Amino acid sequence: MTFVKSSNQVRTLADLAALANVSASTVSRALNDSPLVNAETRALIKALAAEHNFQVHLGAQSLRRQRTQTLAVVITAERPAGNAMTDPFLLELLGEIAAAASQRGYDILLADARSDLRDWNAHFLRSGRADGIIMVARLSERTRQTSALLAAGAPFVVWGPALPNQPYCSVGSDDFTGGKMVTTHLLRLGRQRIGFLGAGSDCLEVSLRYQGYVAALTEFGLSVREQDITYAVSTSQAGFEAMRRLMVQAPDLDAVFVNSDVMAIGAIEALHAAGRRVPQDVAIVGYDDISVASYLRPPLTTVRQRLHEAAVLLVERLDALIEGESAAPVVLPVDLIVRESCGALLR
């Protein structure tokens, strides 16, 4: 059972349990009038619940009334019209989540919630087909949907960076450090003009990587040039076209930080088609370390996100919320994987 509350100090069953000096499961049983909890303890817990304005939310109650041992993974990130869910990074993340869920006795229900399906959260709350939700979304959709899920008292976690003072649990990577790490690496290799090819200007992860890119340039006494920056959707074709734009806007670029490996595949092909050598003429660094990155020609230098660890934490945190416990956001470190495309191995 989940509760909606007005107090900022008491946010979860675990908070109420701490006030009553009992376990979260005891709080849940007491509020359900379970005979397993003695009358005195039930009365105390109910008094505390009333004091802090806890109210049973029928939608969230239906989500949890009968455990399905199923977790819903809801993808709300925008993709080009007509494209299936084929991004290798996303598929690898989903595979890791499925494996982590299986380890904890859960099945996975995958939902592709289009941006025009504005009430998908209500649909899941009514259907009772899942015990909790893992959400993968762009920032605008994430903000709107988390507000709705919080209001409903539904158990959910979010894949992505933590926002300041967010009132829910997320698991994501340290994208600012990732962006700064890439740019610093290229500058230390002697690259003088580094482009930035972003996978969507409205993507929080990409925004943080851009901030890291700017921070590194600033530390080296370099200015950010508007013509060195472009954005596109995260596909190889879009990466190809965006790289062609960059070559026109800034023909003297000698390195490009591409914000997804999928886009980097297209960017490398565009450089080859223009007669530019990678990495001799233009160094390329991607992001994500998808499984094919080491098999590209040249093998792709990239930033590895720790997907296995992230998936385990997403499922672990969601399981805790389903049990009425609290769950704090997690920011995972990233790793720079150096291969031939950045030019480091030419030395």
Q: What is the pLDDT of residues 201-244, one digit of tens each?
A: 678 999 999 999 999 999 999 999 999 999 998 899 999 999 99
Q: How many CB atoms lie within 10 A of CB 165?
A: 5
Task: Give the three-class secondary structure for 35.
Answer: coil
For residue 127, give the nearest of 169, 70, 76, 55 by alpha carbon: 70
pLDDT at 197: 97
pLDDT at 246: 97
Rounded Cα distance between 184 and 280, Å, is 18
The predicted model gives 252-258 an average pLDDT of 97
Pairing mode, if any, of strands 302-304 and 156-159? unpaired
Cβ–Cβ < 8 Å for 217, 194: yes
Inter-helix orientation angle 175-188/204-219, to 10°: 40
Q: What is the mean pLDDT of the chain?
A: 86
Beta partners for residue 285, in sequence order: 257, 301
Which amino acid is present at 53?
Answer: N
For residue 260, give the nearest of 280, 276, 279, 239 by alpha carbon: 239
CA contacts within 13 A on the Cβ side of 196: 23
For residue 195, give the nearest of 212, 207, 183 by alpha carbon: 183
Q: How many CB atoms lie within 10 A of CB 187?
A: 17
CATH of 175-305+336-346, one of 3.30.2350.10, 3.40.50.2300, 3.30.1300.10, 3.90.870.10: 3.40.50.2300
The predicted model gives 95-113 an average pLDDT of 90
Which amino acid is present at 320?
Answer: A
Chain segment 259-312, per-residue pLDDT in tens: 999 999 999 999 999 999 999 999 999 999 999 999 999 999 999 999 999 999
Common-topology check for domains 63-172+307-333 and 175-305+336-346 = yes
- Please tell me which residue, 119 or 48, carries the higher pLDDT value: 48
Q: What is the pTM of this model?
A: 0.79
pLDDT at 86: 77
User: What percent of the chain clears pLDDT 90, i.e. is strictly above it?
Assistant: 58
Q: Where are the domains of the chain?
A: 3-56, 63-172+307-333, 175-305+336-346
Pairing mode, if any, of strands 55-56 and 3-4? antiparallel
Considering only the top CATH level, what class is 63-172+307-333? Answer: alpha beta
Rounded Cα distance between 145 and 304, Å, is 28
Considering only the top CATH level, what class is 3-56? Answer: mainly alpha
Chain segment 133-189, per-residue pLDDT in tens: 999 987 767 887 888 888 878 899 999 999 999 999 999 999 999 999 999 999 999
